[in-house]
Amino acid sequence: MSAQTALMQEKAGRSGPDLNTQALHMDARRESLRLLALLSPSLLLVFAIIIVPIGWLFWLSLFDEAGAFSPANYARFFEQASYIKTFITTFKVAFIVTGACVLLGYPLAYMLSQLPRRAASICLIFVILPFWTSVLVRTYAWLVILQRKGLINSWLIDLGVISQPLSLANNFSGVVIGMTHILLPFLVLPLYASMKTIDTDCLRAGMNLGADPAATFRQIFFPLSLPGLASGVVIVFVLCLGFFVTPALMGGGKVIMWAMRMEQTTSLYSNWGAGAALGVVLLVVTLALLGLFQWLLGARATGVWSSR
């Protein structure tokens, strides 16, 4: 508002350009301060419930059982081979589950985005419905389906496809199947939303210029859907890293993920710092990966723009 006034004043030539720049500058600063003041309650909240606890977590992780300042909680990761192994397992699961979600979720979201509105909303209900069911219930359901005397094995044996039951539960594959199912909506929903916003005129223009459907998809639709895919991938990947219930129940104690290790370590050592150190490591590595991802995506996005 006042910026406009300043502009009008300038046009009217009532004051010099220097004075106007100054006034505009002042104005901009005043406005940003006002915005900051408006934001302060929420910033304060974020500070109180996110920054302070994380800082505290970091602080706690630097003390040993006797309360003395020491790197013991971090040194443990290198002394005990199982920590590194757990860390690798965690990222292995996260990569595989994210990959499975992309492979299953992208075609699904694409189909949903192409369906007429009514049919799409009915199909979406089927995506969202499991989303509202407790993770614990869904995990147990998978156990019933996948275990040795579960549905899949008894059907396959009855049909004569296999003679010995397959090991689907209580191992790595059980964890991946259970987690993929639970995390799929987190990929499909943002992806579907971004696919819906893709301007169909762009696709028609591509066809008009002689591109076949595959080329249209590859060169127009897919690049435009990438931001939605990226946000879905990030959400799924980060959620994977902190998963507890599904690997605990489906892994048969053989797939130990970082969150499970955190629980074990916290109860084993009479010291919050022991668990806190695990939290800090996961947080730092996750942030680093997200940063890397952002950077890669940024480079890729500019690549897309420049090729245009």
State in angstroms the smallest separation of the CB of 65 from another protein.
9
By CB under 8 A, tell whether 81 contacts another protein: yes
In the bound state with another protein, the residue whose beta carbon lies nearer, of 68 and 81, is 81
Cα(165)–Cα(171) distance, integer angstroms = 14
Of residues 230-259, those binding another protein (CB under 8 A) = 248-249, 252-254, 256
Helices (H) and strands (E) in the chain, counts: 15, 0
Structure letter (DSSP) for residue 115: S
The helix/strand/coil state of 229 is: helix
Q: Are 150 and 68 in contact (CB under 8 A)?
A: no
| Nearest residue (CB) to another protein, 160 versus 253 | 253
The answer to whether 82 contacts another protein (rule: CB under 8 A) is: yes
Structure tokens at 63: 């003390």
3-state DSSP assignment of residue 214: helix
Closest residue by Cα to residue 277 from 52, 68, 62? 62
Binding-site residue total for another protein (CB under 8 A)?
26
Residue ranges in 163-192 that form contacts with another protein under rule CB under 8 A: 167, 169-170
Residue selected from 26, 52, 103, 268 as contacting another protein according to rule CB under 8 A: 268
Q: Which is nearer to another protein, 9 or 173 (CB)?
A: 173
Residue 58 C-beta: closest distance to another protein, Å: 19
Position 270 contacts another protein (CB under 8 A): yes
Interface with another protein, residue 269, by CB under 8 A: yes
Q: Phi/psi at 16 (nearest 5 deg)?
A: -70, 160
Residues 13-72 that bind another protein (CB under 8 A): none
Among 149, 160, 201, 214, binds another protein (CB under 8 A): 149
Report the candidate in 220, 228, 227 with the shortest Cα–Cα distance to residue 189: 228
Smallest gap from Cβ 268 to another protein, in A, equals 6
Nearest approach, Cβ of residue 136 and another protein (Å): 11
- Tokens representing 169 are 């539960």
- Taking CB under 8 A as the criterion, the residue among 14, 25, 34, 148 binding another protein is 148
Taking the C-alpha atoms of residue 166 and residue 153, their distance in angstroms, rounded to an integer, is: 7
- The pair of structure tokens assigned to 130 is 């499991």
189 CB contacts (<8 Å, ≥6 apart)?
127, 128, 232
Residue ranges in contact with another protein by CB under 8 A: 80-82, 85-86, 143-144, 147-150, 167, 169-170, 248-249, 252-254, 256, 264, 266-270
